[in-house]
Amino acid sequence: MSVSASEVDTRWQGRRVGRNFLRLLKGRAASALLMLAATALMARSLSPEDFGLVVLIHSYLLLVRGLVNLKPFEAIIHYGVPLLERNDGDRLVQLLRLSFVLDVLLAVIGMVLAMLVLVLASDVLPWDSDASQVALVYCLLLPAAASGAASGVLRLYNRFDLLGIRQALGPLVQLCGVTLAWWADGSHVHFLMAFGAGFLIEHVAMLGFGYSELRRQQPHFRLRGECLTARRERFPGLWRYLHVVYWQSNIDLVPKQVSLLLVGAILGPAAAGLFRIAQQIARVVSVPALLLRQVLFPDLARLWFRRDPQFRRLLGRTLHIALVTGLSVALMSRWVGETLIEGIAGEGYAGARDVLPWLLLAAGLDLGVATLRAAGYAMGQAGGLLRVSAIATLCYMFVLVMFGRILGLEGVAFAVVVWASMNLIAFAAIVHRGLGRSGM
């Protein structure tokens, strides 16, 4: 039986997505397990209050990094893939130069703003003045986080192997640092230093890998040169696209970092520590969601640019596998959740056992959300995805505050499921409508 060229191309696209996904998954899986080990050792070494303080300060750093960040790697894929297809090297170099400049500028601005907030609004933060001083020093790490453009370069040139290596470096350093702090019977400040070292190494490695690959692919690339001029003529809609991606990424921070800070403000550092333990275990399942979007986006963007009807087939197959896998893991957690938490963090954190199944269910749904978001971005529906995400996030924060005060951590976890469910339904509707209009 003969096989059509389109079927061969679809199989090749599917194999490449699967290969790149596995490359990233190896690094992310190692990252998640190493971070889980570091978190477990720290939880067994510190009281829930001190443990909660460490994760709150680290979450503050991650929150500021996310808020003051245009996520240039999304724009590098969106605009860079067509430029690669057309062999337009001059415009591609200008796009990459602009992305690197924005990355560095915003990383420095983020550090300054983070310090200003700590100085001017310390009374509203969920920790005391001594912890604010520690957090102030911790913010000096933020300039190293200018690695978004480097990440985009590696994705553009299909170097998912280097991305996988980089993803495991930071957590490995964290685990080594936490082990040293545990061996020396250190305070919560020493454990925070271990997390900071991992953060620094992870981003410095990304910068090194990305810039090295860029010089290999574009030997004449220099950071100095034209980047801000003629941007409207060469990249129409770039700032609008960055604006949409920026707000979408900030919305994503709500269940990841903002929720932890809200739990600390509403229920205290000890409750934040319990919630973080459940979050970290659920992260092992939720890791594939981010990877799936990152791997799918370049290939779906290529198929959509060519108006290839295999776009629908690749999307449908991936969505089916993602949802079945994620929900199966969430279902199994009903029987092993309590044993898992007590085995990892100890009996002092048993209060997180009722939270874990909800967070794993949300992580399973998020696998489907990630697949649909990659498709929506490739189709140029980023604005529509942003609007529905904003609505879902507002509902999430309302449910979190209301149910968190009434039901405690279970109410917070229920809010995460509400958020994931609303996004899944709305994203599916937007992608379905876009496919119908395209006739694919």
Per-residue pLDDT of the chain in tens (440 residues, 90 and over written 9) = 444 444 445 454 555 555 655 665 666 667 777 888 888 899 888 888 888 888 888 888 888 888 888 778 778 888 887 887 788 777 888 888 888 888 889 899 999 999 998 888 767 676 777 778 888 899 999 998 888 888 888 888 878 778 878 888 888 999 999 999 999 988 888 999 999 999 999 999 999 998 888 888 877 766 665 655 545 556 777 778 787 778 877 777 777 777 888 888 888 888 888 888 888 777 776 666 666 666 667 777 777 777 777 777 877 777 777 777 777 776 776 666 667 777 777 777 777 777 888 888 888 888 888 888 888 888 888 788 888 888 998 999 899 989 888 888 888 888 988 998 999 999 989 888 877 776 66
pLDDT at 112: 93
pTM over 0.75: no
Q: For CA atoms 328, 286, 419, 18, give the dihedral sign.
A: negative
pLDDT at 224: 62
198-247 pLDDT tens trace: 999 999 999 999 888 888 887 776 666 565 554 555 677 777 878 777 88
Alpha-carbon distance values, 141 to 65, 146, 199 (Å): 10, 10, 8
pLDDT at 173: 93
pLDDT at 17: 56
Averaged confidence pLDDT in the chain: 79
148-193 pLDDT tens trace: 888 888 888 878 778 878 888 888 999 999 999 999 988 888 999 9
Using CA atoms, how far apart are residues 148 and 150, in angstroms rounded to an integer?
5
